[in-house]
Structure 1
Amino acid sequence: MNKSVMVIMLVCIVLLSGCKQQATNVYSPDGDISLSFSTDNDGKLLYEIKVKDSLFVSPSAMGLVEKSGLSLSDGLEIENVDFNSADDTWTQPWGENKAIRNKYNEMAVLLSDGSTVGLTVRFRVFDDGVGFRYEYDVRNVDSLFITDELTEFNIANDGVSWSIPASFETYELLYRTLPISGIDNANTPMTFKCGSVYASIHEAALTDFPEMTLKHTDGCHFKAELAPWPDGVKARIAGGKFVTPWRTIQIGGKAVDLINSSLILNLNEPCKLETTDWIRPMKYIGIWWGMHLGVETWYDGKRHGATTANAKRYIDFAAANNIDAVVYEGWNKGWENWGGSQEFDYTVPYDDFDIKEIAEYARKKGVKIIGHHETGGNVLNYERQLDNAYKWYSDMGINCVKTGYAGGLPDGNNHHGQFNVRHYRKVVETAAKYRTTLDVHEPIKDTGIRRTYPNMMTREGARGMEWNAWSDGNPPSHHVMLPFTRLLSGPMDYTPGIFDITYERIKNSPDRKQWNMKDSKDCRVNTTLAKQIANWVILYSPLQMASDMIENYEEHPAFQFFRDFDPDCDWSKALEGEPGEYVVIVRKAKDRYFLGAATDEESREVEIGLDFLEPGRVYDAVIYADAEDSDWETNPAAYRIMNRKVSYEDKLRIKMARGGGQAVYFRPIE
């Protein structure tokens, strides 16, 4: 063997022996995002992210902590690194986009302590961001008790952020615009901008783990904070093998790139249901808003909302106005226990609500019924009745259910810990057993489960319309903040569409003294009418509600938009916008398009190219716009409806009043 060959062999041996301390890299398919993984001299796990060669996330710790002291993070050495890639397209039965491209490069880093702990840290880098998770194989243990997660998100530079405070009980909080360094803690999605890069931190595929929030540690550095069990343990694991949710960072050059990202869905497992033909988007109305205003009650009595006669009236309105379904809240016994035992009976209606007669009446009219299960937080009572309640509904042809959890959970559990994550999953699986779709209020946040269980269609999980009935309400900026924050995680049942914006009809009613309505002059909806219409497009939900009492829609010309609206879209795109300022979104359903634009407290004009329309066709654009003198504070009900012939070569100038918006229905002219 000559000297040169020996030198080469020695160099190779040295390099191989040191590879466990070397950084390991993976790039996005377009090369703009790079992720590096390494272990330091103490065996600490670290990752960092660069965007177009600029440091975006500085070296950040990784791993978990176990109660017994078993090391799940330190002292692990790299045994192997596997690389993979994918580029495929999958379809879903409903969604903002029916076809989803899944294109990424993957790096799986296999680590071990040599005896007990095996860990694969799996990274996937897409053109629109990064996801990583921990896959543990701990040998010779019966159970594990996770007490902390070490994952850090050390943002390299300060910038501006949009988030709600961290809470393990509620997401119904107003959003804040703060410097990244000024955040004490935040729930996810937490959206921010550094320089010219927009990003949002969240999680995907939360199945049997507590939710992750973010705790500020120093500068622009944040650490994962998990919702605990009452004893302080964060996650209880049976056996030694488990996989965490994905930790995600969506990344884009424009704010709307985050809305157009499919990263969260792509990191969830494919659909587990054998068939999905029974799952379909719907428009709905319901006996609901009157209760929040105090005009009607959930419990039985002289002002009870869910009566047989009222139910049929809503069914008649739905049948006459191209509306698919009706929801009834307060139909079942148990509401009289509100604030006490919170015990509901999910198969016993109040005496004035003949559910079998109503179900048959709806069937003959071609209208679906959306059932309602309020738990008041008493999930143990709900689980005892779960199977029977869904079967009972299904036997009557009721295969869509709205659930609620407005109340404290038993035994000191919080809403967002592992206890309730497991409960929500149990409900989804039970509903699927009876071919039933779900609309969940007071939920665990969306992390893309709708890909795996598409019967999980929509959820609340933010301040929705009801806050306008009994508080100062949601400010105009709220509706143009949600698409860049909460809605990045998935659909929201915001329940838009109030036409009596200042509640004049009921405020002027001679019966008002009999109602329990708030007297505050500030109690109203803080938008213009045109923005309420636009929100049917902007605030995406496959179950989309016209939430006002039907009296306010009868003979109203602007309600024609909802009659024409199709929630079963095939394709969507956010065209322009900035968090909390304005947004413009278009959706295609079959051969028609629906555009929604909205602004904050400032009036605004934007010009939008119509190149999303099909070339070679002419469309009648029916425009629902603010009037010249519209203003969310002083003249919110003023609007105008205009028609214009357009094609894909045209541009549309959108003028919005303060707190206003615009909705456009594009129908092809044959």
Structure 2
Amino acid sequence: MLRNSIFLALIGLMMGVACSPTEKEQDLSVSSPDASLTVEVAIDEAGQASYSVKKNDQIVLEPSQLGVKREDVDLSTALQLTGVSEVEMVHDNYELKHGKQRKIHYMANKKVYSFENASGDKMEVIFQLSDDGVAFRYYFPGESEDVKFINEERTTFNLPDDAKAWLQPCAEAKSGWSQTNPSYEENYLMDISVSQSSPTAAGWVYPALFNVGDNWVLVSESGLEANYCATRLEQNSPNGEYKVGFPQEKEVIFDGELNPQSQLPWYSPWRVLAIGSLKTITESTLGTDLAAPAIEGDFSWVEPGRAAWSWVILKDDSTIVPVQKRFINYASDMGWEYCLIDALWEKQIGYDSIKMLADYASERNVRLLLWYNSAGDWNSTPLTPKDMMLTSDARLKEFKRISEMGIAGVKIDFFGGDGQSVIEYYHDILKDAAEAGIAVNFHGCTLPRGWQRTYPNLMSMESIKGMEFITFDQRNADVAVSHCAMLPFTRNVFDPMDFTPVSLSEIPNIERRSTNAFELATSVLFVSGIQHYAETANGMKNHPGYVREVMRAVPVKWDESVFVDGYPGKLAVMARRSGDKWFVSGINGEDKAKDLILDLSFLKGLSGTVITDGEEKRSWKQEEVSIPETGEYPISLKPNGGFLIQL
């Protein structure tokens, strides 16, 4: 009996040992609420942690590295997994002042993986999986009086070899006009191999779009606080493995910080991957879901809107009182909320006349926005006013002065890159502007990364090769159509984008490739808290009354957005709702005609009008439209053309 008991015990022990790897494997995985997405975390014999991602059992990311190298300790190898938390359900409800969706509910499964090296230094990796994607970030627990430095982040995104990429190169630091790069203002490389290197040593900027079999992946980051630099993807991606990279050495302001540094405890930004169909990608709100909630304060004064703007077509000579009065009248006539007065206003107009213009605008229900140079020693830009944003005291003094004059907001230009000191500068400006009741728009700048949630007074950021570049060079105009058809799938997915769209008339010395209806469609397709329109007052008068009426009617605050059809760089069709009004817009990113049958079943029974391109060049056509019960709506697009439906 004793021998039998020992034998059975040994069998049981052996079975237990045999079962443990499976149990451990299950402990290391986490799935999305709908179970369509799964992350597997692993650690190899060398103590290197990794993760992989599947969507409906199809590989999206092959084993990809985790970990960081700090100056004081290496937390990328020789690690032990010391704990795995239970799955915790995360719920978050919030409302945005502007964007593609107003009320948002975020739901995700959270799991925390705890690692430790031989010296007892700790690092946690926090994963959150929602139905539309994967997010993770690092946490360094404990408390320290001394500052810790991260020299390298070992995070990678390992795409299968046959995946394709749509990526924007990052410009070299201090290159370009007056050493103003990088400003996220390059054209995208489309449908390239994931092994193709960036043409610049600086790498690739976010968001980065990939196609993996039946799935699409959009890689970005969110929750970027003042104690971390902005990151990007490194130049080389051997066999499709992209590594998180830090800014170049010159991307600092004054003698400030470049790479991440902070006392403990310390969270990194979120690494964000929206995963699924193009509909999933374009409708995802992960970029703001993972951003920090709004700072404390009353933001009832923040009002999104539309703006007239003279500079983009008429340039510096337009910054004079008579022209700005004309554009204020233009904004008033169109029912737009704002008029932007650009660079050199303090020299060519002056504070006293700006106050007069602000009063003049107020009588016409228009508020003014003023341009500033971020200044400092990080570039050689000559444009003024400058040096007023450099310290909190100087900023608050200037914000108080212009606020008392009736100015609603500022546009601040020419920042110094992605180093931590520059990121801290953005945060400081936004906090001071919020305190002063000033709305903010950044140009020549980095990607917002969800800051519009944290700072509701952040209306927009450029971070794109926008309309001004089309006016500078015919080469930009030649590729603008496909470039614009990329943006709803990349740059504008999560964050407001100040492209400054809609040039309906001719641009001096430039042959515009887009049709008029293409340009009109971008007023809905592109999302920005303040939409600065490129079309001039004189130009608008030359277009049919129904075009002017729809430009009066298009809002910038959207309650809901729905992907209808499209492919990056080739076609983009989106529907957006404001209240009970729907707008459906589309652009053809190719120089060939297209016949589409749109699925508008969610709009069946609604009626309104559609504006498309006429038969002659630069002509228009308007027709009545009713969405049938089948929801199928046929439409033909001219080469480089577009349409706008108002329901």
TM-score of the aligned structures, taking structure 1 as reference length: 0.85
For the pair 1:50 / 2:54, whether they are aligned, the reply is yes
Once residues 143 and 231 of structure 1 are traced to their aligned partners in structure 2, the CA distance between those partners, rounded to angstroms, is 21
Counterpart in 1 of 2:492?
A: 487
Q: Secondary structure at the match of 1:97?
A: coil
CA deviations on 1:586-607 (whole Å, 9 max, x unpaired) are: 1111111111100112221212
Matched, 1:243 2:264: no
* Corresponding position of 2:420: 418
The 1:23–1:377 alpha-carbon spacing in structure 2 relative to 1, beyond 3 Å, is: farther
* Cα distance, 1:11 vs structure 2: 6.5
Contact residue 505 and residue 535 of structure 2 kept, 8 A: yes
- 2:282 pairs with 1:259: yes
Matched, 1:305 2:318: yes
Is the 2:38–2:53 Cα contact (8 Å) retained in structure 1?
yes
Summarize the Cα distance change of 1:502–1:453 in structure 2 as closer, same or farther, 3 Å threshold: closer
* CA positional deviation for 1:72: 2.2
Contact 1:77 1:113 in 2 (8 A): yes
Residues 519-538 of structure 1 correspond to what in structure 2 (within 5 A)? 523-538=510-525
In the alignment, is the contact (CA less than 8 A) between 1:546 and 1:562 conserved in 2? Answer: no
**Residue of 219, 230, 251 corresponding to 1:211:** 230
What amino acid does structure 2 have at the position aligned with 1:212? Answer: T
Selected match of 1:625 from 582, 606, 612: 612
CA distance in structure 2 between the partners assigned to 1:370 and 1:171 by the alignment: 23
8 Å CA contact 2:321–2:349 kept in 1: the answer is: no
Q: Are 1:387 and 2:388 counterparts? A: no
**C-alpha distance in 1 between matches for 2:472 and 2:250:** 32
For residues 526 and 629 of structure 2, the distance between their equivalents in structure 1, rounded to whole angstroms, comes to: 25
Task: Give the Cα separation in 1 of the matches to 2:407 and 2:359.
Answer: 10
2:242 match: 222
1:542 aligns with 2:529: yes
Q: Which amino acid in structure 2 is aligned with residue 565 of structure 1?
A: V
How far, CA to CA, are the matches of 2:529 and 2:207 in structure 1? 21
Contact 2:334 2:548 in 1 (8 A): no
Change (3 A) 1:243 1:499: same
Which secondary structure does the structure 2 equivalent of 1:527 belong to?
coil
Give the superposition deviation at 1:176.
0.8
TM-score, scaled to structure 2: 0.88
Structure-1 residue corresponding to 2:413: 404
Secondary structure of 1:486's counterpart equals coil
Q: For 1:132-531, what aligned pairs fall within 5 Å after superposition?
A: 132-137=136-141, 142-167=146-171, 169-177=182-190, 178-184=192-198, 185-208=203-226, 209-215=228-234, 216-230=236-250, 234-253=258-277, 255-292=278-315, 297=316, 304-333=317-346, 350-351=349-350, 354-376=353-375, 382-384=389-391, 385-405=394-414, 409=416, 415-472=417-474, 473-474=476-477, 475=479, 476-503=481-508, 523-531=510-518
Q: How far apart, CA to CA, are the structure 1 residues paired with 2:434 and 2:17?
A: 56
1:537 match: secondary structure: helix
Q: Which amino acid aligns with 1:259?
A: T
Contact 1:307 1:353 in 2 (8 A): no
Tell me how far apart the structure 1 counterparts of residues 122 and 492 of structure 2 sit (CA, whole Å): 36
Corresponding residue number in structure 1 for 2:178 = none
**Contact 1:117-1:137 at 8 Å conserved across structures:** no
Counterparts of residues 101-120 of structure 1 (less than 5 Å): 101-113=105-117, 115-120=119-124
Identity %: 23
For 1:306 and 1:450, the matched residues in 2 are separated by 29
Q: Which residue number in structure 2 is paired with residue 590 of structure 1?
A: 579
* Structure 1 pair 67–321 and aligned structure 2 pair: CA distance change class (3 A): same
Q: CA deviation at 1:236?
A: 4.1
| 1:29 paired to 2:10 | no
- Give the 3 Å change call, closer, same or farther, for CA 321–234 of structure 1 in structure 2: closer
* SS, match of residue 592 in structure 2: coil
Tell me the residue number matched to 1:96. 100
Aligned partner of 1:515 in structure 2 is none
Q: Deviations over 1:404-460 (max 9, x none)?
A: 117xx4xxxxx1111111111111111111122211111211211111212112111
Deviations 1:93-148 (A, max 9, x none): 32211121212111101222365422110001111111110001266561122211
Q: 1:39: Cα distance to partner?
A: 1.4
- Change in CA separation of 1:650 and 1:32 when aligned onto 2, cut-off 3 Å: closer
Aligned partners of 1:315 and 1:649: how far apart in 2? Answer: 45
Distance, in Å, in 2 between the alignment partners of 1:357 and 1:648 is 55
State the one-letter code of the partner of 1:90.
Y
**Matched residue type, 1:485:** T
2:619 is matched with 638
Give me the whole-angstrom Cα distance separating, in 2, the residues matched to 1:394 and 1:110: 49
> Can you list the C-alpha shifts for 1:254-275, whole angstroms capped at 9, x where unaligned?
x232111111211112222333
Query: In the TM superposition, what whole-angstrom CA distance separates every residue of 1:180-211 from its partner, at most 9, and x where no partner exists?
Result: 22243422111011211111111111123222
Give distance in 2, aligned partners of 1:160 and 1:76.
Answer: 33
Quick one: distance in 1 between partners of 2:493 and 2:629? 28
Q: C-alpha offsets along residues 240-267 of structure 1, whole Å, 9 cap, x if unaligned?
A: 32111111111113x2321111112111
Contact in 2 for aligned 1:457/1:542 (Cα 8 Å):
yes
Deviation at 1:78, TM superposition (A): 1.9
| Conserved? CA contact 1:289–1:549, under 8 Å | no
2:197·2:237 contact (CA, 8 Å) conserved in 1?
Answer: no
Shift in CA distance, 154/609, structure 1 to aligned 2, threshold 3 Å = closer
Hey, what's the Cα distance between the residues in 2 that align with 1:381 and 1:400? Answer: 15
Deviation (angstroms), 1:330: 2.7
> Which stretch shows the higher mean deviation, 133-142 or 443-452?
133-142
CA distance in 1, matches of 2:304, 2:575: 17
Name which of 49, 72, 76 aligns with 1:73: 76
SS at match of 1:269: coil
Query: Partners of 1:573 and 1:21 in 2: how far apart?
Result: 38
Secondary structure of the 2:389 match is helix
Paired position in structure 2 for 1:611: 601
Alignment of 1:41 with 2:45, yes or no, is: yes
What is the total number of aligned residue pairs between the two structures? 606
Equivalence for 1:340? none
Distance verdict in 2 for CA 1:545–1:86, change over 3 Å: same
Match of 2:568 among 566, 579, 592: 579
Deviation for aligned residue 1:18: 11
Distance 1:378 1:327 in 2: 26
Whether the aligned pair in 2 keeps the contact of 1:20 and 1:77 (CA below 8 Å) is no
Q: Distance in 1 between matches of 2:136 and 2:351?
A: 53
Paired with 2:233 and 2:515, the residues of 1 have a C-alpha distance of 35
